[in-house]
Structure 1
């Protein structure tokens, strides 16, 4: 049984999602709370495996901060939104959201997304990736093709020797690519000093790692 929570400032959405999940995923997913703000939910200290988080809440809170606060409290975050604001979408992903589920999606897709992120997977549809990559207002790091390949593999969990073998290049070349990748992100004010930071930058830029990040 997956315990889910819904945070949305529209009451109809909160209770509608709970009812829909009860009707389509009975015995697999149960909604433990429906709250209008992240602070209200966190104050209750409830057990939940996945939190469905709307991007734009009435309290004006930042989706990146909301996501980070929820993750710090031990929750996995699945953005549940109409996803029409790419800037806010990127902020939630930068904060560590495990995926994005659109409110317009069939409830079966929502159920599948909840189950996937509860299982540790990243959920990003081609449509969402297209929105991210097509956002011309975003300051990209302008990574080259090989740099994107290296980032995808390394951020996804491979070590330098494994990346080198996969791409058929020297380990020193991989290290040099990583150095340049970090430098490019620093230039656009998106530093990536750790491997987790690189994983988040890969998600933000639509470069989906092929494997899950290792701790």
Structure 2
């Protein structure tokens, strides 16, 4: 029996998921939570095998923060992200936070059930198009040599900006934290892309993840 906790701020979603999962003979929903704070509290109490975690929750801790904290407290509990965000940045940040899998809410029920069983067995699970994108990204890095030595060419300030971008902060928020102008942040961002051979903000996030620059404690 796989013991599952549901975390989503919409009660209709939680109710629907509970009905689906409890129709399976090997699945048991032990609790549901409306935000990350409640999820952490209940997880410590009940120690579920799998936590089905939404990302966007307006009240309390969001899914990424809750996942990172939950994995520190209960490393044996597997977190499976269930979200509407078909986005590389959210995908990579979820993996870094400690999630074992990532499934879209638009996925067929069979895929969700497969994902739950997969992460419970200790495996990782990504929805099919995400797996393809990751493979393409890997092959692009192999062909380009991964910009060997490029990171060493970055200034200390550029590395700071890269780390804040990777955590999802906007240019304005980064400027406020570093006490510099938004225009200066944009200049650093342009230099980062040029030096690292990257083209988009999600590319910077993925690069930072690979370099181990994401730190949810900071």
The aligned counterpart of 1:43 is 41
The aligned counterpart of 1:117 is 119
Q: Deviations over 1:141-190 (max 9, x none)?
A: x8333867xxxxxxxxxxxxxxxxxxxxxxxxxxxx9x969869996547
Q: The residue matched to 1:9 in structure 2 has which SS?
A: coil
Q: Deviations over 1:7-53 (max 9, x none)?
A: 00000111110101112x22x11111111012112223212001000
Q: The residue matched to 1:113 in structure 2 has which SS?
A: helix
Assess if the C-alpha contact under 8 Å between 2:101 and 2:125 holds in 1: yes
Distance verdict in 2 for CA 1:182–1:20, change over 3 Å = farther
Structure 1, unmatched stretches of 5+, are: 149-176, 191-200, 206-215
Q: The residue matched to 1:55 in structure 2 has which SS?
A: coil
- Using the size of structure 2 for normalisation, the TM-score is 0.60
Q: The residue matched to 1:33 in structure 2 has which SS?
A: strand
The 5 A counterparts of 1:54-93 are: 54-59=54-59, 61-74=61-74, 75-93=77-95
RMSD: 3.5
Assess if the C-alpha contact under 8 Å between 1:21 and 1:107 holds in 2: no
Assess if the C-alpha contact under 8 Å between 2:30 and 2:48 holds in 1: yes
Structure 2, unmatched stretches of 5+, are: 167-205, 211-218
The aligned counterpart of 2:173 is none
- Using the size of structure 1 for normalisation, the TM-score is 0.61
Distance verdict in 2 for CA 1:106–1:94, change over 3 Å = same
Distance in 2, matches of 1:54 and 1:12, equals 13
Give the Å deviation of 1:85: 4.3
Distance in 2, matches of 1:76 and 1:51, equals 6
Distance in 2, matches of 1:132 and 1:59, equals 31
The aligned counterpart of 1:163 is none
Distance in 1, matches of 2:4 and 2:81, equals 12
